[in-house]
Amino acid sequence: MMASLSSQAVFVPIDVVSQKLMVQGYSGHEKYSGGIDVVCKVLKADGVRELYRGFGLSVITYAPSSAVWWACYGASQRVIWRLLGYGS
């Protein structure tokens, strides 16, 4: 779950930037000259909090599935290696 939390800390701001670039120029949306421009304008207008919009929901969505996936992966690795004759 900590790995998922850490990855969301990186990917949520990237996702916010990409979404703002996708809707730029549409009615009521600002135009940007690139990703860095988005970050600068968002930080100036709304602060860091805006870059992490949706962070909580993202963690709630991905952390449990990540924890289950890694637990199953670790358990299956032990079973497979035992079946192959490695380990005790």
What is the model's pLDDT at position 45? Answer: 94
Number of compact structural domains in the chain: 1
For tokens 């380990």, the residue is: 87
83: in domain: no
Identity at 61, one-letter amino acid code: T
Written as one string, the DSSP assignment of 28-58 is T----SSHHHHHHHHHHHT-HHHHTTTHHHH
Report the C-alpha dihedral over residues 9, 58, 20, 42, rounded to 10 degrees.
Answer: -50
Tell me the pLDDT tens digit for each residue of 46-71.
Answer: 999 999 999 999 999 888 888 899 89
Model confidence at 88, in pLDDT bands (50, 70, 90)? low
d(CA 58, CA 45): 23
Tell me the pLDDT tens digit for each residue of 4-61.
Answer: 888 999 999 999 999 999 999 888 888 999 999 999 999 999 999 999 999 999 999 8
88: in domain: no
31: in domain: yes
53: in domain: yes
